[in-house]
Structure 1
Amino acid sequence: MGKERVRLLEAVGREGSISAAARATGVSYKAAWDAITAMNNLVGQPLVAAQTGGRQGGGAVLTEEGLRVVETFHRLESEIARTFRALEPELAGTGVAAAGMLWGFFMRTSARNALRGTVEKVVNGAVNAEVTLRVSDRTTLTAIITRQSLRELGLVPGRPAIALIKAPFVILAPVDEARRTSMRNRIEGVVSNREDGAVNSEITLDIGGGKSLTATVTLASAKQLGLEKDAAACALIDAAHVILAVD
């Protein structure tokens, strides 16, 4: 989660909009939007409820879950600080800092999409295993991993896990065409944001349940497919491109 993102949540609650919160915390609107999208994906319920009003406008409020996350973070921060103070004398002279030792275990990833969910089903094969992760009431993701990875991660039904997917691995297609493909993961949604560059476009697809997927496609493809805001589309993801992680 991180202190910077919690500061952003606090700013949303204080300022009443994502754009104002971005200005208050010294980040761009896109950076604030991306951070909130990532947090919504990693937590079971949306932390911010945005109201309509255009990409640069509209209001936003913290949900009850968002308020709880902010409160819990500060309580956890206080407890960690207290623990660090207690440990530092014992580690004196060892060259090891308590804070560095703890935070070194925290996961960081460059994958654009990180969705938290619960393992719903595991199907074992001779070499690989097929793991189905439920990330929302309406959405599941299937990953193909080795049986060794399955054992090492302790993935069994009911176990929380995180699905990591790089944006270039998310293929977008019209809904009707996507339904006729054999791709293992077919997730329908609505375009909530589009950022155009000189060559590529970054498309954010709202897949419901407070979750979203981000895809990187060529600018020409984005125009050809009509991937404008509020347009329906389907995300196609190869099961072999879904990486699973656990806390």
Structure 2
Amino acid sequence: MTDPALHATILLAKDQTGRVGADRIALLRAIRDGGSITSAAKVVGLSYKAAWDAVQVMNNLFDRPLVLPAAGGKDGGASPITEAGIAVLDGYAVAETELASAMARIEASVSNGLSLKPLLWGIGMKTSARNVLRGTVSQVTPGTIDAEVTLAVAEGVEIVATITRGSAEDLGLVPGAIALALIKSSFVILARGDESLRTSARNTLAGTVIAREDGAISSEVTLELTLGKTLTATLTKESADALDLQIGTRALALVKASHVILAVE
């Protein structure tokens, strides 16, 4: 029996924005079975960092975290999957079964040489921005040219973006709308402590350092803002050392509103 010519890949979407595909589902299953990100990374053939990053992406894209990662890197201990994570796996399994039947019917009906590839392209989105957080628009303050949009990404955690008024209207950004906040890690400035500072940055987000990776010149530091919601910053290793940003350190992430990009489905 030959393989069918037409294949499909499932992307689970939460309110059309939080997407998890087959590769991340495989990682999620491995975490469920092995109980840790370290063991799961070995099963799916990823480095620990790649697996850990994927977990942060999944947690940031859903209302509730799918995995509770242990702080401290690959030696940090167990990382249990949550009830929300189990629900995602169950939903994906049902969708896989239904999709297999649907694709068989579609393939049988395509007999005139029509290519479905252009029709199916674009179902997923990838971005170079290190931080992608899903949230709900809580407030829009329009100006003559620009608009200030406030996105609630978790209870008590809001991100403010400044975009053109025309862009806000084109994207349909009104209170209650679902959107993604994209922030490059190089746009995140870190400071020690957890008390608000007087700065020109519109966003001041308090968190705890849960991961740090050093290179020859730069360091990548990840803060947990609240349960399952993280923000990653890239800074010089010299600066990370000077601030003594170790696991468990309280720190502030400063982000200018103009450095936040908003996206919708």
Q: Aligned Cα RMSD in Å?
A: 1.9
The structure 2 residue matched to 1:183, chosen from 201, 204, 228, is 201
Local SS of the residue matching 1:66: helix
Distance in 1 of aligned mates of 2:237 and 2:141: 38
Match of 2:248 in 1: 230
Tell me, yes or no, if structure 1 residue 50 matches structure 2 residue 72: no
Per the alignment, residue 98 of structure 2 pairs with 79
Q: Tell whether the 8 Å contact from 1:187 to 1:207 is kept in structure 2 after alignment.
A: yes
Distance 1:97 1:146, change over 3 A: same
The answer to which of 47-56 and 9-18 deviates more is 47-56
- Is the CA contact 2:210–2:224 (under 8 Å) kept in the aligned structure 1? yes
**What SS class does the counterpart of residue 41 from structure 1 fall into?**
helix
TM superposition shift of 1:121: 0.3
Which residue number in structure 2 is paired with residue 19 of structure 1?
38
CA distance in 1, matches of 2:100, 2:128: 28
Q: Deviations over 1:164-199 (max 9, x none)?
A: 111101111123685121310000001100000000
| Distance change in 2, residues 1:147/1:87 (3 Å) | farther
Of 21, 27, 33, which aligns to 1:2? 21
Is 1:214 equivalent to 2:245 in the alignment? no
One-letter code of the match for 1:8? L
Check the 8 A contact 1:118/1:158 in 2, yes or no: yes
Out of 119, 135, 155, the position equivalent to 1:117 is 135
Structure with the largest fraction of helix: 1
Query: How far, CA to CA, are the matches of 2:196 and 2:237 in structure 1?
Result: 20
Mark the CA change 1:50 to 1:107 in structure 2 (over 3 Å): closer, same or farther. closer
Question: 1:194 maps to which residue?
Answer: 212
Aligned residue runs from structure 1 range 143-162, under 5 A? 143-162=161-180
Q: Deviations over 1:195-234 (max 9, x none)?
A: 0000000000110131000000000000011111111110
CA separation in 1, counterparts of 2:242 and 2:55? 29
Structure 2 counterpart of 1:34: 53
Decide whether the 8 Å contact of 2:56 with 2:230 is kept in 1: yes
Runs of 5+ in structure 2 lacking a partner?
A: 1-19
Matched, 1:172 2:190: yes
SS at match of 1:27: coil
What TM-score results when the alignment is normalised by the length of structure 1?
A: 0.92
Count of residues in correspondence between the two structures: 246
The 8 Å contact of residues 194 and 207 in structure 2, kept in 1 or not, is answered as no
Distance in 2 between the 1:198 and 1:223 partners?
12
Cα 1:225–1:153 shift into 2, 3 Å: same
Q: Cα 1:61–1:104, aligned 2, differ >3 Å: closer, same or farther?
A: same
User: Match of 2:52, SS?
Assistant: helix
Please tell me whether the aligned partners of residues 55 and 67 of structure 2 are also in contact (alpha carbons under 8 angstroms): yes
* Partner Cα separation in structure 2 for residue 233 and residue 143 of structure 1: 21
The 3-state SS of whatever aligns with 1:34 is helix
Aligned-partner Cα distance in 2 for 1:79–1:45: 26
- CA–CA distance in structure 2, aligned partners of residues 28 and 236 of structure 1: 29
Q: Is 2:130 the partner of 1:130?
A: no
Partner of 2:80 in structure 1?
Answer: 61
Give secondary structure in 2 for the equivalent of 1:60. Answer: coil
Identity across the alignment (%): 49
Residue in 2 aligned with 1:142? 160
Q: Deviations over 1:125-161 (max 9, x none)?
A: 1111110000000200001111221122111111111
